[in-house]
Amino acid sequence: MSFIKTALITGITGQDGSYLAELLVARGYQVHGIIRRASSFNTGRIDGLYSDPHSRDSRPLVLHYGDLSDGTGLRRILESTRPDEVYNLAAQSHVKVSFEAPEYTADIVALGTLRLLEALRDHQATTGHRVRFYQAGSSEMFGATNPPQSESSLFYPRSPYAVAKVAGHWFGVNYREAYDMFICNGILFNHESPRRGETFVTRKITRAVGRIKHGLQESLYLGNLDSKRDWGFAGDYVEAMWLMLQQERPDDFVVATGAAYSVQQFAEAAFAAAGLDWQKYIRIDERYYRPSEVDFLQGDASKARRVLGWSPKVDFNGLVKMMVLSDLDLAHREATLIKAGFSPPNESAM
Ligand code: NAP
Ligand code: GDD
């Protein structure tokens, strides 16, 4: 099998990494992904793309062990895979956790990006190959800045995670200007899917809806219900990442739907989609409050529309429905297993 291009993805086992890998493989790329060594399997989201390493055919997906804390390893992977495009999606991506592990978060999110850029700078200098680089920036970088937020809005980060993402963003801008590297910063607003990690609020809610409906859970504990987010579908957002790297010149783009809803509105819609009244099940637990909150994110993605021709295909109601249906099905399977005598997985939610 021959491939049209080669891409390297950090964070390939995450929500976005899995959708992006699918998109690139479908477009004829060979995709190399960096995975962390873990004591249990962490490749569930990309199992569909897996092919036997012993097979004689060239494989569309190849995995390499590595970590953003290990610059030498990143360098080796870059040199051995010689990608045309690099997507840096790896991160300790949970905002609340970043208050508990700020140093680790900064090491992976800020310094990890720097390590990868340094490896890429040397690779470009020795091979002459201008590799295209996507940096996964976040609307969290806007933090306390009033909506709607666009590329020209001020960064006012409100968590160690967001501060580290601002550093990653500016490393990208600086390396683009200093070394003429092709680097794009995506400033993506929240995006969700049935593959979303279960400790992010949308998935925590839709998982609970499924489990409550199937009698596996009685209530759901949440924190701040008043914050507003601009929620889109992850499958739409990875398309924007790819589009950024197909342009003639590197640039930075906000990616968002332009519509914002509160956490409470998401919960209302999700419970209603399963025929349930949210008020009967939701309780507040202050442990889920953040030391400093981001109250209102609503993106202005007009530049992405104009330059990339990108627009979201899934709206808020479509997203809620997609996630609820998937989690109703998951809970149904869970309930069937329990009835058959298997014990459910042990879960803790942040
Ligand atoms: P995610 O589901 O949490 O995935 C994070 C990925 O990073 C996982 O593959 C994880 O590996 C990997 N990772 C974590 N620490 C690592 C390390 N030390 N070295 C190498 N890999 C490491 O996140 P996501 O939602 O897909 O988001 C992708 C990127 O976009 C992240 O950088 C996130 O901060 C950013 N972002 C996300 C959103 C959003 O709404 N989803 C919005 C804006 C920006 P394991 O599977 O082994 O844990
Ligand atoms: N996680 C969580 N758990 N959040 C809760 C809960 C709860 O029990 N209760 C209320 N919330 C509120 C949070 O306080 C926050 O205001 C909002 O729900 C969204 O929280 P998350 O789903 O954890 O996402 P986030 O907005 O903090 O961060 C996500 O989006 C960023 C882009 O803006 C992550 O994906 C980041 O990696 C990403 O950069």
Question: H/E element holding 64?
Answer: strand 61-65
CB contact set of 311 (below 8 Å; sequence gap of 6+): 301, 305
Contact between 12 and 46 under an 8 Å Cβ cutoff? The reply is yes
Q: Does the annotation mark 261 as catalytic? A: no
Question: 118 is written with which tokens?
Answer: 């340094």
Nearest partner of 113 among 173, 158, 64, judged by Cα: 173
Cross-strand bridge partners of residue 135: 88, 185
Q: Which residue, 151, 37, 164, is CA-closest to 112?
A: 164
Read off the pLDDT band of 348 (50, 70, 90).
very low
Read off the pLDDT band of 55 (50, 70, 90): confident
Question: What confidence tens digit (pLDDT) does each residue in 80-93 have?
Answer: 999 999 999 999 99
Dihedrals phi, psi of 73, to nearest 5 degrees = -60, -40
Strands 5-10 and 85-88 turn out to be parallel
Average pLDDT for 20-40:
97
Query: Residues 272, 208: contact at Cβ < 8 Å?
Result: no
How do residues 294-320 score in pLDDT, each as one tens digit?
Answer: 999 999 999 999 999 999 999 999 999
Mean pLDDT, rounded, for 180-206 = 98
Q: Residue 163: pLDDT band by 50, 70, 90 thresholds? A: very high
Res. 57: pLDDT tops 80: no
Structural domain spans, the chain: 5-194+231-255
Query: Under a CB-based contact definition with an 8 Å cutoff, are residues 226 and 264 in contact?
Result: yes
Instruction: Kindly give the interhelix angle for 15-26 and 234-245, rounded to the nearest 10 degrees.
Output: 60
Write down the pLDDT at residue 54: 77
Q: Residue 250: what pLDDT?
A: 98
What confidence score (pLDDT) does residue 69 get?
98
The C-alpha atoms of residue 5 and residue 30 are separated, in whole angstroms, by 6
pLDDT computed for residue 1 by the predictor: 74
Catalytic residue among 87, 161, 175, 261: 161
Closest ligand 2 atom, CA of 199?
Answer: 1
Can you tell me which atom of ligand 1 is nearest the CA of 108?
Answer: 18
Q: Which residue puts its alpha carbon closest to atom 20 of ligand 1?
A: 67
Q: How far apart (Å, rounded) are the C-alpha atoms in residues 86 and 118?
A: 13
Rounded CA-CA distance 240/311 in Å is 8
Output the pLDDT for position 143: 98
- 224 within 8 A of 263, measured Cβ to Cβ: yes
Please write the tens of the pLDDT for every residue from 253-283: 999 999 999 999 999 999 999 999 999 999 9
Residue by residue, DSSP assigns 113-135 as: HHHHHHHHHHHHHHH----EEEE
Mean pLDDT value of segment 39-63? 87
User: Residue 44 CA: which ligand is closest?
Assistant: 1
In this structure, the residues whose C-beta lies within 6 A of any atom of ligand 1 are 10-11, 13-17, 36, 38, 42, 67-69, 89-93, 108, 136, 138, 188, 190-191, 197
Q: Regarding the domain delimited by 5-194+231-255, which CATH topology (the fold level of the hierarchy) does it fall under?
A: Rossmann fold (3.40.50)
pLDDT score at 13? 98
Q: Does position 349 have pLDDT exceeding 90, yes or no?
A: no
Q: What percent of the chain has pLDDT over 90?
A: 94
φ/ψ (deg, to 5) at 31: -110, 125
Question: pLDDT, tens digit, for every residue of 106-138?
Answer: 999 999 999 999 999 999 999 999 999 999 999
Q: What is the pLDDT of residue 53?
A: 74
CA 139 to chain centre: 12
pLDDT of 347 > 80? The answer is no
Angle, helices 316-339/263-273, rounded to nearest 10 degrees = 60
Q: Give the 3-state secondary structure of residue 42.
A: coil
CB 168 within 8 A of CB 110: yes
Q: Which atom of ligand 1 is nearest to the CA of 16?
A: 26
